Amino acid sequence: MTRHKVEICGVDTSKLPVLKNEEMKILFKKLQEGDGDLSAREELVNGNLRLVLSVIQRFNNRGEYVDDLFQVGCIGLMKSIDNFDLSHNVRFSTYAVPMIIGEIRRYLRDNNPIRVSRSLRDIAYKALQVREKLINKTSKEPTPMEIAEEMGIPHADIVFALDAIQDPVSLFEPIYNDGGDPIFVMDQISDDKDKDSKWLDNLSLKEGMQRLNDREKLIVNKRFFQGKTQMEVAEEIGISQAQVSRLEKGAIKQMNKQMFE
């Protein structure tokens, strides 16, 4: 078995060729001359599959099959090859990467388990086009109200449509990792409901906190009684958020041990 061999869609990624910039220019000239050299197109596709691999790594946390993302990315790559213009004097990768990303994003959007109506998507996409138009015109980010006025539709419809096409984020998606315990999205969310009684009533926190040191007690109190985020706690007591996360997990483990002995 080949070391570091990874197969995607039956392709051994360790053996993928890499084309130099000058080699690609020659192949593009062959492809774009006369009836087009299909063998040159195939060589361009095979020589840029590593580009697809580098792009799909950005979508690793989406829960999608890598094979599916790779195939969709290849469609974006082929569209890039067919539409690339040598006269623009830019590297092919500069042109292709946004197209590959766009193809994958369309796939993820269309296969989103949260279904969004076609009319709502149409409003959202038109709003995005108007947004780009206003940015080019004023050189600043337009507000949803300005976009609504430009389109002549209610402001609330714009906000609702743009929110509807946003990708959902898992509460357990890691947002930071310093080599220790990762910090998840849920760690950034404060709880405004039942701040003073939820954990006390359900888990007998007073008993569980008896074995904690002063810093651990302070963190548990601020996190679960005052409903503050780890970032807020870190700023208040002058340590990093990663340290707060580790101390919090250690304190909870200690309390569980105390309560269930």
Confidence (pLDDT) at 1 = 33
The pLDDT score that the predictor gives to residue 115 is 60
Residue 31 is inside which H or E element, if any?
Answer: helix 21-32
Mean pLDDT per 10-residue section of the chain, whose length is 261 residues: 46 70 85 75 87 83 77 90 83 86 82 67 86 87 88 84 66 56 58 47 58 85 81 85 85 70 54
**What's residue 246's pLDDT?**
87
- Measured at the CA of 68, the angle between CA 67 and CA 73, to 5 degrees, comes to 95
Residues 6+ apart with CB under 8 A from 38: none
pLDDT of 261? 54
Q: Which domains does the chain have, with CATH numbers?
A: 7-110 (1.20.120.1810), 118-164 (1.10.10.10), 174-259 (1.10.10.10)
SS3 label, residue 259: helix
- Give the Cα separation of 193 and 226 in Å (integer): 10
The confidence score (pLDDT) of residue 199 equals: 40
Q: Say if CB 74 and CB 80 are below 8 A apart.
A: no
Give the per-residue pLDDT at 201: 43
Helices (H), 209-240: 214-220, 230-237
Residue 151 has a pLDDT of 92
Which of helix, strand or coil describes residue 27? helix
pTM of the model: 0.43
DSSP-derived secondary structure letter, 44: H
Residue 152: predicted pLDDT: 92
Closest-CA residue to 68 (of 9, 4, 144): 9
- Find the helix or strand (DSSP H, E) in which 8 lies: strand 7-8
Q: Select from 164, 63, 52 the least CA-distant residue to 104.
A: 52
